[in-house]
Structure 1
Amino acid sequence: MTTSVLTYEQGYVIHVNQPGDELFYHLDYDERSHDLNMEFQHFHDFYEVCILLDRTAAHIIEGSLYEIQPLDIVLLRPSLLHKTQYPKGTPPKRLMINFAMPRHMPGLESGYNELFSIFDEEVPIFRFPEERRKEILAPINDIFAISQQCSTLQPVVIHHKFVEFLCAIHRYAAENGYVREETGSSMSRRMYAIASYIHSHYQQDLSLDEVSRRFYVSAHHLSRQFNRVTGFTFTEYVQMTRIRNAQQLLLNSSEKITDIAAQCGFASFSQFNRIFNKQSGMSPSAYRRSRPSQSKHEMMLVGERPQ
């Protein structure tokens, strides 16, 4: 079926290669219910594109809340802490695209760096007028059609079409009409501003008293309202933000674990080790060793439907 301007089939999956390969695509056409909302923000080492197809939802990126409407295009770069909050009721349909591609091809490096600058926007959410949206999403519909054909050229054509999709977003980025709306009560907005502040300053010494003074709210009121809005105490949120960032560094750098602990705002290595074990279920060194193998897999493309 076609939902507005985007072809959609419940439970359909398209993939080229596997996560961990230098080039891979995974397009997942599915619904997501409120009951499956993640508890805290997560990260991954690949790029992600999220396109909601009906209803509305919210995206939390580095602690900041963004309302999204159907056919908004959310672009998430690797290692960015984020989660989607889906509403109660009928599960919204969405297309989730996870991908990675090599950007070091001779003569194309600067072009790819410019293309991927769209993922570095301060607010990486794009909303286009209807006619422009049709043009931008057309390559994604082409990928859906191509996935149902049998050809050894499928992976090449899918890669080409996806680059075309990104190029269209970049070409028309100046027409982006997304405006962050002020939703919820003024206190809720203040709590999300505090969460965003934590993400920007987790490396520093963050105390409830210091942050409450900065945001002109009593420490007692901040503590109570922050828990109500985010589901975490102030201390829990700070610790989880620090641990998520430490996890990124453990997987994507060769820095010493003691240096990572200090860099992420922990007062001592013993404190870092204790909290990391509690939240991750393993030690920092074991977490680093658990990094998925980057071995290559045989290239394949599959269009899957539910059985």
Structure 2
Amino acid sequence: MKPIRKPFFGDPLFPFELGYKNVKKQINELPDHLHDQYELVYIHQGKGVFFIDNTWYEKKQGDLFIIPGNTIHHSLPHNEDPIVSSALFFAPTLLAMERIDDSYHSLLCFDFARKKRMYRIEQPAALVSVTETALGQIHQELADRKPGYHEAVKLITCQLLLQINRYIQSVSGHRPAGEPRVGPSWIKEVLHDIDEHPEREASLARLAERANVSAPHFSRVFKQLTTMNVTQYVNAKRVIRAKELLSRTDNNIHDISEQCGYETPTHFYRIFKAFTGMTPNKYRQNQSGMY
């Protein structure tokens, strides 16, 4: 049977989801499936098996599974001792921060898992404690939604991945050489330029030509790393810029729409509401009420 592609329906401006301490039963599990987002699965309790990339893994309390994007997998919990697990999903670009040390990147454990085809970590007690604490903190941040919670979630996740990466290195002797495989250099340059200047015109054809790759190849790599197509990603970055301008300036909506790359305020209104669920004016009013 051909694997199905799992969709995600979360916040397009923050492609990050956590299913926290969910009880898993065979009747509710997906068959073979894959998705663009990277996934961490932690087993709190219960028993079962995990099928990942043509390999069966036993699932038991304390295990951590590292599943890179577009890796075929499915789960079979034990019916009499069902799995209780937490699953964290995110777009890899969300954690692709600028860095000083080119020998380290938060996503190295995913690169290692894919390269070595080793997707399970039988964690020591110290790492179990770190993992459970981090997942609990992320769950609380997402539930409370206090100012800065997006940044808090990213920081906690990066700290968790740091501990996972260090543990993998300590037990495997794996020391990454050179640039980590988070994506080809041309896609990193494109993403950086869009982040810096979301107002610029950014069609798939123009970006692919600039990167000197075919449009289908560009589109496929772009979606694997961002979980969005080019238009969705550019609009997401423009809306993020618009939210900053609405919160921090007194510029009128027409000027903001132009600063964010939209030809008409009507188009800006439609895109902004599609991403945020409210109009720009309503968003500004809500932000003003916080101060």
TM-score (norm 1): 0.49
Of 97, 107, 113, 1:116 maps to 107
Q: Percent of aligned positions with the same letter in both sequences?
A: 15
- Is residue 126–residue 176 contact of structure 1 (8 Å, CA) maintained in 2? no
| 1:171 and 2:133 correspond | no
Mark the runs of 5 or more structure 2 residues left unpaired by the alignment. 1-7, 173-214, 218-228, 237-274, 278-291
Q: Distance in 2 between matches of 1:124 and 1:175?
A: 16
The one-letter amino acid of 2:108's match is S
Asked whether 1:45 is paired with 2:29, we answer: no
CA distance in 2, matches of 1:108, 1:90: 46
User: Does the 8 A contact of 1:23 with 1:101 survive in 2?
Assistant: no
Structure with the higher helix share, 1 or 2: 2
- What is the match of residue 131 of structure 1? 126
Cα 1:107–1:169 change in 2 (3 A) is closer
User: What corresponds to 2:83 in structure 1?
Assistant: 92
SS state of the match for residue 151, structure 2? helix
Measured in 2, the distance between the counterparts of 1:132 and 1:106 equals 26
Distance in 2 between the 1:88 and 1:62 partners?
23
For residue 20 of structure 1, report the CA deviation from its aligned partner.
7.8
Partner of 1:254: 216
Q: What is the CA distance between 1:140 and its match in structure 2?
A: 2.1
Show the counterpart of 1:55.
46
Within a 5 Å distance, the mapping from 1:9-20 to structure 2 comes to: 19=10
1:155 alignment partner, SS class:
helix
**Partners of 2:39 and 2:90 within 8 A in 1:** yes
Give the Cα separation in 1 of the matches to 2:156 and 2:77. 29
Please say if 1:78 is aligned against 2:69.
Answer: yes
Deviations 1:37-59 (A, max 9, x none): 333x2110111111121111111
Query: Equivalent residue of 1:79, what SS?
Result: coil
Equivalents in 2 of 1:49, 1:129: separation in Å? 17
C-alpha distance 127-298 of structure 1, shift in aligned 2 (>3 A): farther
Comparing 29-38 and 50-59, the one that deviates more: 29-38
Report matched runs for 1:167-206 at 5 Å: 167-174=162-169
Counterpart of 1:227 in structure 2 is none
The verdict on how the C-alpha distance between 1:18 and 1:164 changes in structure 2, with shifts beyond 3 A counting, is farther
Aligned-residue offset at 1:77: 0.7
Give the number of aligned pairs: 175
Distance 1:83 1:51 in 2: 15
1:144 aligns with 2:122: no
The answer to whether the Cα contact below 8 Å between 2:49 and 2:76 also exists between their aligned partners in 1 is yes
Q: Which amino acid aligns with 1:254?
A: P
Q: Once superposed, what is the RMSD of the aligned Cα atoms?
A: 3.6
Cα 1:157–1:46 shift into 2, 3 Å: same
Aligned-partner Cα distance in 2 for 1:98–1:104 = 15
Q: Is the 8 A contact 2:50 2:76 kept in 1?
A: yes
CA distance in 2, matches of 1:298, 1:61: 35
Q: Distance in 2 between matches of 1:48 and 1:124?
A: 11
1:128 and 1:175 in contact (8 A); partners too: no
Query: How far off is 1:147 after superposition?
Result: 3.5
Q: 1:137, 1:94 → 2: CA distance?
A: 11
Q: Kindly indicate whether residue 25 of structure 2 is the aligned counterpart of residue 36 of structure 1.
A: no
**Matched letter for residue 88 of structure 2:** I
1: CA distance, partners of 2:230 / 2:83: 32
Relative contact order, CA 8 A, sep 6+: which one is greater?
1
Q: Give the C-alpha shift of residue 162 in structure 1.
A: 0.8
- 1:52/1:92 contact within 8 Å kept: yes
Counterpart residue number, 1:249: none
Letter in 1 for 2:132: L
CA contact (8 A) 2:18 2:139 kept: no
Q: What's the secondary structure of 1:144's corresponding residue?
A: helix
SS at match of 2:35: coil
Which secondary structure state, in structure 1, belongs to the residue aligned with residue 123 of structure 2?
coil
